Amino acid sequence: MSIIDVNYAYVAGAIAIVLLAIWMFLLELRLKKLFRGKKAKDLEEIMTALDKELKRLDASREEIEKYLAAAEKRLKKSVQNVGIIRFNPFGDAGSNQSFAIALLDENGNGVVLSGLYSRDKVNVFAKPIEKGGSQYTLTREEKEAIKATSSDEK
């Protein structure tokens, strides 16, 4: 090795040492800023408290997720679709006093209620609905009421 190569090596080493010293100095400043007025024990207590809080929040989140899943299950079975049709079953008697109303859940299950009005009496009928249909014969108005539940804007 020549003297010039050795001098370059010394200069490169000196530059590396100066850069490392600057880096350590800046790191020391950042650490002092971070730990300003704090002791290691204080930081450990803070980290322990944060860990406990995170565990509590996680447990709370799980509880909320379970509640929402149960609420979603109940909501699917609630009445969400309503369709009503008013009609006159007897052309010569009065106006549209009779009705058919369908009360259905998200899956098209529920009931259709029909009220037939005449001058002497009112008859009310109920038919169970499963997936939009019934095991009982549905009148045209009852079918229209069921159809009216799906025409609502969701």
Q: Which amino acid is at 15?
A: I
* pLDDT value at residue 112: 95
> Cβ-count burial of 60 within 10 angstroms (0-12 exposed, 13-18 middle, 19+ buried)?
exposed
Residue extents of the structural domains in the chain: 1-37, 38-76, 81-150
Length of the chain: 154
Low-confidence spans in the chain with pLDDT less than 70: 1, 3-4, 37-41, 92-94, 151-154
Q: Which amino acid is at 109?
A: N
Look at the block and give the residue holding tokens 């200069």: 11
* pLDDT value at residue 151: 62
pTM: 0.57
DSSP E strands, 2-149: 81-87, 98-104, 110-117, 122-129
Residue 97 near residue 87, CB atoms below 8 Å:
no
Residue 34 near residue 43, CB atoms below 8 Å:
no
* pLDDT value at residue 38: 63
3-class DSSP assignment, residue 98: strand
Phi, psi of 35 (to 5 degrees): -95, 10
* pLDDT value at residue 39: 64
